[in-house]
């Protein structure tokens, strides 16, 4: 949700993929111009940057959806581990793959992470970004909160409150 808000702020044309009508509606509210199901991603051919937190077969579909010089960025694997990527597919289609793991980047480049966090906070203060909280649970119900996340039925962040 944050990536979509940043992209919208930057004026990007956003295509969002999600597994339910409710999640696609949320994406539209956050600035998506077009929404598709995960199964429809591979039918696209006009994506410049694919930002994928799902992984598994979705990431392979993101690569297929890229236009020349596009890049697929893998940031997570909620939908399963990534499938192997054949470099011949990348070279032949003139596309790229990038990985992003904030935890490791914080260790390698804390200065860069600090700078970017300051920019994100400035956008939040201006009202350009707003955290999306989909559910709140009392701390005693942490297991139920984890079950909701694991079921992939949550929208937005799941928050534990004291």
pLDDT digit string, tens, across residues 115-162: 999 999 999 999 999 999 999 999 999 999 999 988 888 888 999 999
Q: In angstroms, rounded to a whole number, what is the distance separating the alpha carbons of residues 65 and 69?
A: 12
- Which of the four pLDDT bands, split at 50, 70 and 90, describes residue 85? very high
Q: In angstroms, rounded to a whole number, what is the distance separating the alpha carbons of residues 130 and 78?
A: 23
Q: What is the pTM of this model?
A: 0.86
Q: In angstroms, rounded to a whole number, what is the distance separating the alpha carbons of residues 161 and 27?
A: 25
In terms of phi and psi (left: phi > 0; alpha: psi -120 to 50; beta: otherwise), the region of 113 is: alpha
Q: Summarize pLDDT for 50-59 with one digit per residue, the tens.
A: 999 999 999 9
């Amino acid at each position: 949700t944050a990536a979509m808000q940043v992209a919208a702020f930057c004026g990007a044309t956003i295509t969002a993929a999600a597994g339910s009508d409710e999640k696609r509606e949320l994406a539209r509210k956050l600035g998506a111009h077009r929404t598709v199901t995960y199964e429809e991603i591979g039918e696209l051919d006009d994506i410049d940057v694919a930002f994928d937190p799902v992984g598994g077969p979705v990431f392979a579909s993101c690569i297929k959806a890229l236009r020349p010089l596009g890049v697929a960025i893998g940031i997570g694997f909620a939908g399963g581990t990534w499938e192997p990527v054949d470099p011949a597919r990348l070279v032949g289609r003139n596309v790229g793959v990038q990985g992003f793991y904030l935890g490791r980047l914080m260790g390698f480049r804390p200065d860069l992470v600090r700078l970017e966090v300051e920019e994100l906070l400035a956008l939040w203060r201006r009202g350009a970004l707003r955290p999306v909280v989909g559910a709140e649970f009392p701390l005693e119900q942490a297991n139920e909160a984890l079950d909701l996340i694991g079921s992939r039925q949550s929208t937005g962040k799941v928050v534990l409150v004291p």
